Amino acid sequence: MRDMLRYVDDDLEITPAELTPHDVGGTSWKSEPITYLPAFTDLAPDETREFKADISNRGLVLPGQEHQLRLPYDLGLWDEPPVVWIMDPHEITAEKILGWVVHRAAKHYADLAFIVLAAQPESGPLLRLDRTTLSETLAAKLETMKKFQPDKYAALASVDDVVRGLEEDPVFSAGEWEKLVYLRSRRDRFNQATLKKAVQALLVPLVRRR
C-alpha cells in the first residue's frame, strides 16, 4: 500500500509516511503525513504540502460504482474524463452516520448534510438515496463495526440506537468548524443551522424504521 501511495515524475513527487494501524485487528491503516513536492507550480505554500490517507479493509455491503471523474474547470490533465470506482452512496452515507454517532467528528456531520441535500429533487438530484437500501446497509455496517470495534460500538444495539444518536443536536467546537475548509466560502448558505436541518429533517426520516 505504501508503494501505491508513492509517486515520482518530473513534475510531482509524493512521499508517504509509514502506515500505522487504526485498530488492533489491522482492518484500518493510516499514512500521515504524506508530503508532496509540486515542481510544476510555486503557488502551493509550504505549510500545506502534505495530506493523509486512510485505508480500510472491512469489506463492502454493496458493489462499487463506476463514474467519470469530472471537474468544473480544465486543468489540462486529460482529453477524456477517466473512469474511477467509488463506493455506493448508500454505503458512504451509512459509514458517515456511524462515524458521526460514535466519534462526533464535524466533518462527518457536514458530509451527511451535503449528501442528503444533494439527493433532493431540486439538486438535480446529484445522487439518489433509497430508504430501504440505506436502512439495510446501515444495519449491515453496524454489525460489521460491532465485530471489529466492540468497545466503541457497545452502546449501539440496533439501528434504532443509531437513529437516536443522529437525532441529537450537534455540537461543534470552533476549531472543528474552522477546519472544514470546503465550507469557508459558503458560510452564508451552508452554516450550522443548515447542517442540522438537513440531517434531522431529511436524513433521519430516511433511516428511521417505520
- pLDDT, tens digit (0-9, with 9 covering 90-100), for 44-58: 666 678 899 998 888
Give the whole-number percent of the chain exceeding pLDDT 90: 59
The per-residue pLDDT for range 72-103, each reduced to its tens digit, is 888 777 889 999 999 999 999 999 999 999 99
What integer pLDDT is reported at residue 38 of this predicted model?
Answer: 86
pLDDT in tens, 151-182: 999 999 999 999 999 999 998 887 777 777 55
Q: Check: CB of residue 58 under 8 Å from CB of residue 144.
A: yes
Residue recorded with cell 430508504: 131
Mean pLDDT (the chain) is 89
Buried b (16+ CB within 10 A) or exposed e, 82-98: eeeeebbbbbbbbbbbb
CA 39 to chain centre: 29
